Structure 1
Amino acid sequence: MPETTTTAQDEVVQICQDLIRIDTSNFGDGSGPGEAEAAAYVVQSLREVGLEPQTFESDPGRVSVVVRIPGADRERGALCIHGHLDVVPANAADWSVDPFSGELRDGCVWGRGAVDMKDMDAMILACVRELARTGTVPPRDLVIVFFADEEAGGRKGSHFLVEQHPEVFDGVTEAISEVGGYSVTVTDRDGSERRTYLLQTAEKGISWLRLTAHGRAGHGSVPNDENAIVRLAEAISRIAAHTWPREFIPSVRTLLEGLGELTGTSWSDEDLEDLLDHLRGAQGFVRGTLQDTSNVTMLDAGYKHNVIPQHASANVDCRFLPGHEEQLLATIAELAGEHVSVEVLHRDIALDAPFEGDLVEAMVAALRTEDPDAVVLPYCLSGGTDNKALSLLGVTGYGFAPLRLPADLDFAPMFHGVDERVPVDALQFGARVLGRLIATC
């Protein structure tokens, strides 16, 4: 009997489970287990099929993995396919399952990273292993990267590689990674349900700020009209009450127009509610791209019950549209007021790529081969990915982690959420689509 070859679809679920079971929590402060164990798993998986990856360690335990696969046309621009191995922390007490169990339940793989982004890591690894086993030569060079530290801004991962080892990306012109290519089910103008895949073409920029209010220290029993905590609270209230003006960048405008045409929903720039309702759980991501945003995420003040502190601080997560960074920082400084200083802890750029070209056409074709009735629309991600770092080398990046999802799965809110999970058949679908893209792009 002829020998059968294990396909990406055959092993993608097991790989996803294995990766979830390796705790790579990134607390953002240098603590946590790091990515070394997960990187070793990736390296061994690649070596099993005859590939010899490189590893890059920015700090002890902070390991990224790279392997280049030569293509048929070495003169063409290479494609970088990348994921990140770290995850945000998870409080097990909040979950229905152990967040690092990789448990199979109700047709899904459960665990931290199931959607962000060990599902895509598993697809990439499974597809590369199938490529190597079969001896398939891709149309152009592929640079496969598993980064460290994306969840803390990529300083020890993608930015480290771009700044310290740019030769890794020699010849790379385009890239694909997370948070795009997944489906939402909408009701079209004829009353039929249509899967619509959101292909990520843009990202908002990041500005993580620390506000520090300055005041006069004193005894808790004595009136104090220079209380730093009060000044901080007033600044936070002003920022929270601020209405950021709307601006629809091209990817957002194209999404809204396409969704309106598909569903037959009338809308205006001022009234989007009926239109956005069609996106179900994914509408949160889209709402976050209609304007700049600012959210207070951390507070730090005081050291004893009866002591008024001299300083109080808060961390604010700001995300800005392309071209808005200076305007956002000026607005925050004005809202913070004269007694509150503003410090930028981390910043990264906004991205906006065209919804056209050979790579976009190949992604759309790969989806429609597996789901012929698929509608594909662009969208802007309210968060950020490692494509930001690659853009500094002139690489055009897209979000394409293809998943065909059930209509009733509230998928987008599971990013950084509780009970994160991905359907088994969605993983297998994604492996087929990604494999087809690699073979044709």
Structure 2
Amino acid sequence: MVSQEPARTVSGEDEVVDLCRDLIRIDTSNYGGNEGPGERAAAEYVAEKLAEVGLEPEIFESAPGRASTVARIEGEDRSRPALLIHGHTDVVPANADDWTHHPFSGEIADGCVWGRGAVDMKDMDAMTLAVVRDRLRSGRKPPRDVVLAFLADEEAGGVYGAKHLVQKKPELFEGVTEAIGEVGGFSFTVNEDVRLYLIETAQKGMHWMKLTVDGTAGHGSMTNTDNAITELSEAVARLGRHKFPVRLTKSVRGFLDELGDALGVELDPEDMDATLARLGGIAKIIGATLRNTANPTMLGSGYKVNVIPGQATAHVDGRFLPGYEEEFLADLDRLLGPRVRREDVHADKALETTFDGALVEAMSSALKAEDPIARAVPYTLSGGTDAKSFDDLGIRCFGFAPLQLPPELDFAGMFHGVDERVPVDGLKFGVRVLDRFLDAC
């Protein structure tokens, strides 16, 4: 008789890469305005993976194809407040001709998984699925209830995803007091003795806005001193070139203090350019958290080369630091001048919480257990996430999607960029850290 070895149980580390590749191959491009393939296929994939290990996930559609998946895992102590782990399944569009590997192929090359969503944020979706599936297969309950939310529409403000669920289905998040989500927990190697892991404790607010100038229409060959395009272009140029003043919020100050300690130097708040020069690939992220920003992104006017249009428009992505919204709007109006009408296309608040408490300790200890030179530090995200919606329910939100990154990787450039990719080893590291975190939280 031939003896048979027992089948080896698949671990979270074993399957996280395949889960990530599968999710990337599902095109969930979000063009805004409810345009795109939607998230239904991804929602069904996630629901299937959760149902396979005994959960009862629900799919919620806010509009045809705009789908989110939610499930709750019962914890050992159900009297404790619950934890929310949230991620979005939509991605920004990608032009395949610009990429080394097709953005929806999930190709593995050079030790990385390539594709749109590899870091924003199907990597965290995959890590969450891998950890949950592993724990439930082995009968390991978390210490408290955990709500899982895989959401639609984050890339366009969450109207069809997090905002919809918070407004229409708040009971899904009953008992939740804390949450973790995207864009935090990634590493920045200072030297061989210290690796900082940036935990998002704050994020800038937003004013996506449309600017409009009315002028006098006329023939393109004639003199026109009331040209709407000229007036708007001058205003947009003033705004685009303006350098808003440095404003050090609590989270930014905390990060700079930790960085200065790690470097063994005292950083000068008046010389932020020298500080940013030390940060390599994360300089773009940190640099944008030192001040308010306003970037022109779209221009529109006219319909024929020999016709001066009567109106010109522009769109601007404006972001403000916690506590500085009024200053930001006042600066905008001063820079734009009285001829420019400003209206919000999408606006949302800034967030900030403190870097303390049991959840922060759980993140820090989980990182330290997998990386002995890890040091968890607070930081501010220059963009926004679905945390803004969950804050409306009084949930304290952090960005914690742990990744150990090679120092040479331009991590900031991966977000919405060409050739987005995530290291395979980073995904496996994230699974181990999240598993430890769930035990400790």
Q: Assess same fold via TM > 0.5.
A: yes
**Aligned partners of 2:347 and 2:130: how far apart in 1?**
33
Partner of 2:54 in structure 1? 50
Among residues 69, 72, 78, which one is paired with 2:76 in the alignment?
72
Compute the displacement of 1:267 (Å). 2.4
**Structure 1 unaligned spans of 5+:** none
**Aligned partners of 1:213 and 1:414: how far apart in 2?**
35
**Aligned partners of 2:323 and 2:263: how far apart in 1?**
31
**Aligned partners of 1:51 and 1:243: how far apart in 2?**
50
TM-score by length of 2: 0.97
CA deviation profile, 1:130-155 (whole Å, cap 9, x unmatched): 12211211111100000000000101
Compute the displacement of 1:278 (Å). 2.7
Residue identity opposite 2:233 in structure 1? A
Among residues 168, 174, 179, which one is paired with 1:164 in the alignment?
168
Among residues 91, 103, 109, which one is paired with 2:107 in the alignment?
103
**Aligned partners of 1:338 and 1:408: how far apart in 2?**
46
Alignment of 1:270-285 (within 5 A): 270-285=270-285
Partner of 1:10 in structure 2? 14
Among residues 139, 145, 151, which one is paired with 2:143 in the alignment?
139
**Aligned partners of 1:380 and 1:440: how far apart in 2?**
24
Corresponding residue SS for 2:404: coil
Does 1:210 pair with 2:214? no
Partner of 1:435 in structure 2? 435
Compute the displacement of 1:291 (Å). 0.9
Aligned residues: 437
Compute the displacement of 1:249 (Å). 0.7
**Aligned partners of 2:82 and 2:106: how far apart in 1?**
33
Corresponding residue SS for 2:383: coil
Alignment of 1:259-274 (within 5 A): 259-274=259-274
Does 1:349 pair with 2:349? yes
Instruction: Work out whether residues 281 and 408 of structure 2, in 8 Å CA contact, stay in contact via their aligned partners in 1.
Output: no
Compute the displacement of 1:395 (Å). 0.3
Compute the displacement of 1:275 (Å). 2.7
Residue identity opposite 2:69 in structure 1? V
Corresponding residue SS for 1:174: strand
Alignment of 1:19-418 (within 5 A): 19-187=23-191, 192=192, 194-418=194-418
CA deviation profile, 1:286-334 (whole Å, cap 9, x unmatched): 1101111100011111111111111111110011011222222222122
Residue identity opposite 1:108 in structure 2? C
CA deviation profile, 1:68-127 (whole Å, cap 9, x unmatched): 011111121110001000000111111111010000001100000000000000001111
Compute the displacement of 1:378 (Å). 0.9
**Aligned partners of 2:151 and 2:217: how far apart in 1?**
45
**Aligned partners of 1:263 and 1:276: how far apart in 2?**
13
Q: Which moved more, 1:48-57 or 1:333-342?
A: 333-342
**Aligned partners of 1:16 and 1:245: how far apart in 2?**
40
Corresponding residue SS for 1:300: strand
**Aligned partners of 1:203 and 1:37: how far apart in 2?**
30
Instruction: Work out whether residues 56 and 63 of structure 1, in 8 Å CA contact, stay in contact via their aligned partners in 2.
Output: yes
Corresponding residue SS for 2:78: coil
Corresponding residue SS for 2:116: coil
Compute the displacement of 1:283 (Å). 1.2
Residue identity opposite 2:170 in structure 1? P
Instruction: Work out whether residues 44 and 59 of structure 2, in 8 Å CA contact, stay in contact via their aligned partners in 1.
Output: no
TM-score by length of 1: 0.97
Residue identity opposite 1:174 in structure 2? E
Instruction: Work out whether residues 199 and 376 of structure 1, in 8 Å CA contact, stay in contact via their aligned partners in 2.
Output: yes
Q: Which moved more, 1:410-419 or 1:78-87?
A: 410-419
Q: Percent of aligned pairs with the same residue?
A: 57
**Structure 2 unaligned spans of 5+:** none
Compute the displacement of 1:376 (Å). 1.6
Corresponding residue SS for 2:105: coil
Ranges of 4+ aligned residues in structure 1 off by more than 3 Å = none
Q: Which moved more, 1:117-126 or 1:194-203?
A: 194-203
